[in-house]
Amino acid sequence: MEWPVVLSTLIAGTDLSADQASEALREILAGEATDAQIAAFLIALRMKGESITEVSAMVDAMLESAAPIELPSGPDAIDIVGTGGAPSRRAHALNVSTMASFVAAGAGARVVKHGNRKASSTSGSFDLLEMLGVPLELDGPGVAHCVAEAGIGFCFARSFHPAMRHAGPVRTQLGVPTVFNFLGPLSHPARVQRQVIGVSDATIAPIVVGVLQKRGAPRALVVTGDDGMDEFTTTTTTTVHELRDGDVTTSTFDPREVGIALVSADALAGGSPEVNAAIARRVFAGEQGAYRDIVCLNAAAGLFVAGVVDDIATGVVNAQASIDSGAAATVLDRLISAANDATK
């Protein structure tokens, strides 16, 4: 691997070939790159702007080193994930997609969420799960057991992409979003292809949906809140890139179209894992308000890509019913029980 060539190419604003991109990541994942090389690569790539070819090649490299998950037979699983990095959310992260995953599972979707601890925000999905009492250190059969018993499973990125440990310290030290923020969702160890992926940078969304299209995903939504949130927002409109059967369409979604009122950003403030766990419990208990609305909206998107509903409006109704019937809370209880069984 010739790092000076790769870095010079990126600095010149030229895209890497698929082979160059995949080989660079393989060297990083093998622990053969220095911290300086990793940091330079990530920042130079981000400043140039990642290409579909580069990212797809890096996904291949990620999956080569990932521990696979064999899911039990059944409907296609989905993942609802925000890639983080929204400047307005780093100090008040809410973990919307994690809460939405439970609601979607309670409404009939089969969910396998791939996530991690916090990188550049106050709380990552697995920080929240830990506070909710969910055992984290599950292997592939353990995750599959949870999916079979609870309709939902969580793949801790550290467990299924162990080679990522070589890049982790650099990511933390950089403290800004890099290609790894969206490589994770695209490199799902269970090979989930029906996804709702939120990105905070509107310039990245076409790349992410382009990679999904290139890799043959049947249905996906890649969304950017027009307030910079990495999910369907309820403070304003959301730009939606929809992939369905090989075709991509782009539209603007207004939550008021499905009966959800706009709110201020302050109404959606999260915080530490402890704060977010308390919010999640209140939402699952049926508390009305802004938190419930944004969780239901993002759960509705998951139900849509799962094929459980034909439109977001119906998805919102089903998501609300998932909470009000107690189904979402039951999913959490069943997950905790199944995960504990899997760790015995």
Both structure tokens of 265 = 């950003």
How far apart CA 211 and CA 157 sit, in angstroms, is 20
Residue 67 has a pLDDT of 86
* Domain range 78-340, CATH class: alpha beta
pLDDT tens for 132-169 read: 999 888 999 999 999 999 999 998 877 888 888 888 88
CATH superfamily, region 3-64? Transferase, Pyrimidine Nucleoside Phosphorylase; Chain C (1.20.970.10)
DSSP state of 166: G
Residue 109 has a pLDDT of 98
Cα distances (angstroms) measured from residue 57 to each of 25, 81, 113, 339: 9, 21, 22, 33
Q: Is 184 helix (H, G, I), strand (E, B) or coil?
A: helix
- By the 10 Å C-beta count (0-12 exposed, 13-18 middle, 19+ buried), 148 is classed as middle
Cα distances (angstroms) measured from residue 342 to each of 52, 228, 231, 290, 333: 38, 38, 31, 35, 14
Residue 120 has a pLDDT of 47
Equal fold, 3-64 vs 78-340: no
Spans of the chain, pLDDT less than 70: 85-92, 117-123
Element (H or E) spanning 20, and its range?
Answer: helix 18-29
Extents of the domains making up the chain = 3-64, 78-340
Cα distances (angstroms) measured from residue 253 to each of 116, 218, 238, 306: 28, 21, 5, 19
How far apart CA 99 and CA 206 sit, in angstroms, is 26
Residue 92 has a pLDDT of 63
